[in-house]
Structure 1
Amino acid sequence: MMKTNPGNFFEDFRIGQVIRHATPRTVTEGDTALYTALYGARFAVQSSDAFAKAVGYPRRPVDDLLVFHIVFGKTVPDISLNAVANLGYADCRFTRPVFTGDTLSAQSEVIGLKETSSGKTGVIYVRSEGFNQHGELVLSYIRWVMVRKRDERSQVGEQSVPQLAPAVAPTAFGHALPQIAGRQWDDALSGSSARWADYSAGERIDHVDGMTVEEAEHMLATRLYQNTAKVHFNQHSEAKGRFGRRLIYGGHVISLARALSFNGLANAFHIAAINGGRHVAPLFAGGTVYAWSEIVDRQPLPERQDVGALRIVTFATCDRPCSDFPGKTDQGHEDGVILELDYWALIPC
C-alpha cells in the first residue's frame, strides 16, 4: 500500500472519472484578512459588515476569488500536481455567497482528455465543484491543464475535447445574491458613483495603478490556498525545469487584476461568472502587474431591478502600463500581456 501521493499523470485519468478531493477548509477571518493583505482589494461589500448589511447581506461575504482559490487549491494534488501549465477556464459560476465560518470541500469530474502532439504530455479537462458544509453548491467551473505523462511511450485510451459555451448566460446567475437595497448603497463609501447605466459596450478603462509582486507574497498566497503544485513552491525542483524558477500561480494574477480594477469598477461588487480565461504568459517575482478592462456587454437580469450585469474583459500586463490598452491582435497577444479574463460582474442599477 502506497502511503505517499506522487500525483496523477496523464495516463491516470479517464473520461467520466469523479475525484473527491481531500482536506475540507473552514474559511476564517484570518483568511480574509490575509487575502486583503496580499492584493489590497477594496470592494465595500466584501470589506464592511455594516455596508453589506445595509444593502441586503446578513454580513460581508467572502471575496469571490478567495472562494475560487480555496476550491481550486483542493483540486491541485489530484489534478495538477504534475502540471506543465494551467491553460484556461470556462463556464465558471459563483452560485451562492460564502461567509467566514463556512467549510468548503471540492470534487472534480474528468470531462475531456487529449494527448499533445509531442506525446510527452496531455491536456485534461475537468469540471470542479465546491460545496459548503450543508452540501450546497457554491462554485462550479471548467478548467484545462497540461499534465506530464509518466511514460512517454504509454498508450492513451479514449480521447475527447468537450464543447464549451462561449459565455455564461445572464439568466444563470441572478439568484446568486440577495436583493440589493440600491437606496442604501452609499456611493461615497463604495468609492464610485458609476452604476450599471453609466457603462456602455465598447468602453475601455485603464485601471491606472500597478502592483509589484514580491517572492514572499506569491509564496504566502500559494500556501494560503493549500496549492501544492511544484511549479509554484519548490525552487529546488523548478531550478531544473522549463523556466529555471518558480512560476507565480495564475490565480494570483487574476486576484491582482481584480483588485486593480477597483479604480474604475468600484461598484462592480460581485463576480457572477467567468466566461473564459487564459494565462497568456508567465509571471515571476519582481514583475509589476497593471490592468485595463473593456465593457463588452451590458445586460439587465430577468426579474431583478436592483442590479445589472456587465460583461468585462480584463487584460493584465507585466511591466507595461495600460494607457495604450495592450491586448489581443490578429497575430496573438501583444508583448507584456499575461492574462485575458472574460467575466460577468454585477453592479447596482
Structure 2
Amino acid sequence: MKTNPGRFFEDYTVGETIVHAVPRTVSGGERALYHAIYPSRHALYSSDEFARGCGLPQSPMEDLAAFHVVFGKTVPDISLNAVANLGYAEGRWLRPVYPGDTLRSESTVIGLKENSNGKSGNVYVRTRGLNQDGDVVLDYVRWVMVRKNRLDAPAPEAVLPELRKVVPASDLVVPEGLDFSGYDFALAGERHRWGDYEIGEQIDHVDGVTIEEAEHMIATRLWQNTAKVHFDATFREDGRRLIYGGHVISMARALSFNGLANAQMMVALNAGAHANPCFSGDTVRAWSEVLDKAETAAPGVGALRLRLVAVKQGAAPFALKGEDGKYRPEVLLDLDYWALIPR
C-alpha cells in the first residue's frame, strides 16, 4: 500500500517528534494572495518603505501567513483525521519571515487523552517552524480531537501537559532593529498609540465579511492544508465543509484594523479556541478587548495583550459566554495574543 490514510489517535506516542514533509519557499505571491483573500491593511506588511522606516530590511510576511504555512505542513501528520482543532497555547513568533525564506515544520507529541466515548482522543503537540538556516521562526502548542481507527485499541495513559495561560511580556521577542520612534501615523491609517489604550477597553471593529466557499478553498489550498473536513463534503454527516479555523483567525485579525491599525506585529499567541464551527455563508464580525499592556526595550515599541473575538450574524455586542459559562452559539473564535504597537 503506497497511499497514506493519515494517523489516527492510537498511532501517537508521547515524546515522539514528527518531521513534516514538503518545505515551502514563500514569495511575494503569498502576500498578494493573502491580501486578496483577507481585508488586511496593516502598513508594516503592505509596504517595504514603511517597514524600512520602522527599522526592518523590508516588509515581512504577515505573521499569520507564516503561521498558516507552518501549520499546513503539520496537517497530514497531526489533523488529517481530526474531528476538530481545539485550541492553542504558548505561541511565539521568534523572527520575521521574509519573501525567499523556506519554511519547514516539526512537531513533538506532548500529551494524549482518550475521550470517554472511546471513538476519539485529544492529541497535544508542540510545533516549531524553521527557516532554511535552521532558525526557529515560530513555536506553538495546539491540541486536536482525532478519530480512532481501531475502536478496540487500548487507551493510552492520559498525559496532559502543563501549559502557561499567558506568555509573559518578558518572553516576547521583538524583531531585531524594530524601531517605532519615527513611526508615521498618517501612513499607518490611525493616530492611536500604546498610551491611548486602557486595560478593559472594548473595541467594536464595525465591519463584516461574508465567508464564501471559493475563498475558503483557495486559502486552504494555499496553505497546503489537507484536512478532510475542509475539502470533502462527504466527510461530515451534515454534508458541509468546515471552514478552516485559521481562515477565521486571519479574517478577524484583518477586520481588527479598524480600531487597532497600529497593532502591527503579532508576537505571541497566549490562547485560542474555535468556539463554534464556521460555514460558507456566515458573516464574520470582530471585537477586541485590551487585557494587558507592557513596555519593551525596543525604541518606541510597546506591547498590548488583546482578546480578539470573531462572531457571526445575530451576535449581541461584546457577548462572549452565556450564563452556563459556555460560549454563545454565535461566537466563532476567542483568541488571546500580544501585539507590538508604537508608544
Q: Taking structure 2 as the reference length, what is the TM-score of the superposition?
A: 0.97
Q: Post-superposition shift, 1:175?
A: 3.5
Whether the 8 Å CA contact 1:45–1:269 is kept in 2: the answer is yes
Pairwise mapping of residues 214-253 of structure 1 onto structure 2 (< 5 A)? 214-235=212-233, 237-238=234-235, 241-253=236-248
What is the 5 A alignment of 1:27-106? 27-106=26-105
1:10-29 paired onto structure 2 within 5 Å: 10-29=9-28
Deviation at 1:330, TM superposition (A): 4.5
1:36: how far off? 0.5
Distance 2:69 2:278 in 1: 21
The equivalent position to 2:332 in structure 1, one of 324, 335, 338, is 338
CA RMSD, 1 decimal: 1.2
Change (3 A) 1:320 1:127: same
Contact 1:10/1:148 (<8 A) preserved: yes
Q: In structure 2, what is the equivalent of residue 189 of structure 1?
A: 187
- C-alpha separation in 2, matches of 1:328 and 1:308: 30
> Amino acid of the residue matched to residue 300 of structure 1?
E
Percentage identity across paired residues of the two chains:
55
Shift of 1:321: 5.8
Q: How far is the alpha carbon of 1:217 from its aligned partner?
A: 0.3
Provide the rounded CA distance (Å) in 2 between the counterparts of 1:51 and 1:113.
45
How many Å separate the matches in 2 of 1:337 and 1:264? 20
Alignment of 1:232-311 (within 5 A): 232-235=230-233, 237-238=234-235, 241-301=236-296, 303-311=297-305
SS in 1 for 2:207: coil
Aligned to 1:122: 121
What is the DSSP-based 3-state SS (H/G/I as helix, E as strand, rest coil) of the residue aligned with 1:209?
strand
Match of 1:155 in 2: 154
Aligned residues: 342
Matching residue of 2:143: 144
User: Is 1:112–1:125's contact at 8 Å kept on the other side of the alignment?
Assistant: yes
By how many angstroms is 1:81 displaced? 0.4
Secondary structure at 2:51's aligned position in 1?
helix
Displacement of 1:328 after TM fit?
2.6
TM-score by length of 1: 0.96
- Matched letter for residue 160 of structure 2: V
Tell me by how many angstroms 1:79 deviates. 0.4
* 1:325 aligns to 2:324 (yes or no): no
> Residue deviations 1:276-328, cap 9 Å, x none?
00000000001100000000111112x33421110100111011366x21213
Distance 2:335 2:34 in 1: 20
> Whole-Å Cα distance in 2 between the matches of residues 175 and 31 of structure 1?
23
Distance in 2, Cα, partners of 1:122 & 1:177? 41
SS in 1 for 2:126: strand
User: After superposition, what is the alpha-carbon deviation per residue over 1:207-241, rounded to whole angstroms, capped at 9, x for unaligned?
Assistant: 00000111100000000000000000112x32xx2
The alpha carbon displacement at 1:329 in A equals 4.2
Bigger CA drift: 165-174 or 191-200? 165-174
Unpaired segments ≥5 residues, structure 2: none
8 Å contact kept, 1:290–1:318: yes
